[in-house]
Amino acid sequence: LPAFREEGFGDKFLRKTRENPLVPLGCLCTVGVLTYGLISFKRGNTRRSQLMMRARILAQGFTFAALLGGMVVTALKSRQ
């Protein structure tokens, strides 16, 4: 019987990132755009703040699409 070793958080994070690298990239983009939008809002630049909040929605959509794509690829690999 194969012996399974305990997988820690760091090991699991690295494995999942290698399997689907677009999800962490999308998360970082979302956080970056959100942060810049909040900074613009605090400085009173409402036009830039609104633009960044719209960009945040696009980044979240990209992240969600990458997550779904990764799930489809994983499901197709497991069928083979």
pLDDT value, residue 78: 84
26-51 per-position pLDDT tens digit: 999 999 999 999 999 999 999 999 99
pLDDT of 79 strictly over 90: no
7-28 per-position pLDDT tens digit: 888 888 898 888 889 999 999 9
Asked if 26 and 69 count as a contact pair (C-beta separation under 8 A), the reply is: no
At 3, the pLDDT band (50, 70, 90 cuts) reads low
CA 22 → CA 66, 69, 73, distances in Å? 6, 10, 13
pLDDT value, residue 2: 58
